[in-house]
Structure 1
Amino acid sequence: MTKNYFPANENELVDVGGGLTRKVAAYNDNVMCVEVHFEAGTVAARHHHPHEQVTYVMSGKFEFTVGDDTYTVSAGDSLYKKSNIEHGATCIEAGTLLDIFTPHREDFL
């Protein structure tokens, strides 16, 4: 049975370390929504994964590298990362991202 409602108080904020925390929100087998909080200066090292990913900047300012391109992004901006493309970010001003993955990230559960 598919779960349709994910109350915020039922989702745990996980300390990933190095100034980064995340909270898994709604998900099913095909899609996952994750809230990611960065302290200023936090670096999310370049990495890749088989999931497609959309990132929406809720607040703060970030420098993102996606493949060979680098972007400075802030609230309201968004990025798309195709499957297996190398990407990473540096947080310039503390902020929050909303990441959408397809399929869901089993490693986040």
Structure 2
Amino acid sequence: MFIFNKEIPLEDLGEGVSRKILAYSESIMTVEVYFENGAIGAMHNHPHEQITYVLSGEFEFTIGEETKIVSAGDTLYKEPNVMHGCRCLKAGVLLDNFTPMRKDFV
């Protein structure tokens, strides 16, 4: 199956955050998340495993009790049910991969 980014609408989540759900099946999902400078990804957790790849920008990420600054090319792993969130320091895009897929997103 081919997914063409230009054909996927950008969903405005409010407060400087938007996303595109790129592709998914029952077992995996890939999502682009766009952040404006200063936007917050509120602390949360979920039962899914998540890997985030920083496509662009700079972010201050907290995963569990640890906080670090990440930028383009960096990757983060989030275990299921671990609290995590971020603050965007320089506008950018994150590529999130979830397993299983996030049914709450569709």
Tell me, in whole angstroms, the C-alpha distance in 2 between the residues paired with 1:44 and 1:74.
15
* Structure 2 match to 1:18: 15
1:87-98 alignment runs, 5 A limit: 87-98=84-95
Where has structure 1 moved over 3 Å in runs of 4 or more? Answer: none
**For 2:2, what is the secondary structure of its paired residue?**
coil
Which runs of 5 or more structure 2 residues have no equivalent in the other structure? none
TM-score w.r.t. length of structure 2: 0.97
* Structure 2 match to 1:81: 78
Q: Percent identity?
A: 54
Count of aligned pairs between the two proteins: 106
Q: 1:55 aligns with which of 52, 55, 58?
A: 52
Provide the alpha-carbon RMSD of the alignment.
0.8
* Structure 1 match to 2:37: 40
Which runs of 5 or more structure 1 residues have no equivalent in the other structure? none
**For 2:77, what is the secondary structure of its paired residue?**
strand
